[in-house]
């Protein structure tokens, strides 16, 4: 069993689009992961091992063909709970997002969305979604995730 802190370190290590900053974590957690063989590396450069991926509960490959099924399975494993996904038809046609820093309103069109899930504001959710997309990519589905307001949206890469 790994702690929440250790899980976060492993998630950042597995993510291809996010970088792990070891100085933000307890040296004891990193040493414990190194000792267990879940991480390899030194100083500021760590990589997750196959054992680390297994420690997160992830299989080497998901036995599913549809991208939504692959992503849903990975998200359920990483979130330790059942995630509710929304079909594109259940989303509003457009959404406004106020940008208070630049004093403007951004409008989002959801026509090309494949499916979506609720976003609770935790950066780890976005990292988990990106990891799930990476699993889908390994099986030939070019999918990416994007956050808009309170939703994580999944699109086909074009």
Gap between the Cα atoms of 16 and 118, Å rounded = 22
DSSP state of 90: G
Provide the pLDDT for residue 101.
74
Tell me what percent of the residues of the chain surpass a pLDDT of 90.
34
Confidence of residue 61 (pLDDT cuts 50, 70, 90): confident
Helix (H) / strand (E) containing 81? none
Predicted confidence (pLDDT) per residue in 116-153, tens digit:
898 887 888 999 999 999 999 998 999 999 888 788 88
Q: How many CA atoms lie within 13 A of 56 on its CB side?
A: 30
Asked if pLDDT for residue 2 goes beyond 80, the answer is: yes
Predicted confidence (pLDDT) per residue in 36-60, tens digit:
999 998 777 889 999 999 999 999 8
Gap between the Cα atoms of 120 and 14, Å rounded = 21
In this prediction, residues 99-125 reach a mean pLDDT of 78
């Amino acid at each position: 069993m790994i702690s929440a802190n250790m899980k976060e370190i492993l998630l950042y290590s597995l993510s291809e689009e996010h970088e792990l900053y070891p100085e933000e974590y307890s040296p004891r957690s990193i040493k414990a992961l190194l000792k267990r063989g879940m991480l390899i590396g030194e100083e500021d450069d760590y990589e997750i091992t196959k054992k680390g991926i297994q420690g997160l509960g992830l299989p080497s490959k998901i036995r599913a063909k549809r991208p939504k099924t692959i992503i849903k399975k990975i998200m359920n494993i990483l979130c330790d709970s059942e995630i509710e996904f929304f079909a594109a038809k259940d989303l509003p046609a457009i959404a406004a997002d106020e940008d208070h820093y630049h004093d403007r309103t951004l409008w989002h069109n959801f026509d090309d969305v494949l499916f979506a899930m609720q976003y609770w504001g935790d950066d780890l959710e976005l990292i988990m979604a990106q990891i799930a997309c990476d699993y889908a990519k390994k099986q030939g589905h070019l999918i990416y995730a994007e956050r808009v307001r309170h939703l994580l949206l999944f699109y086909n890469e074009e």
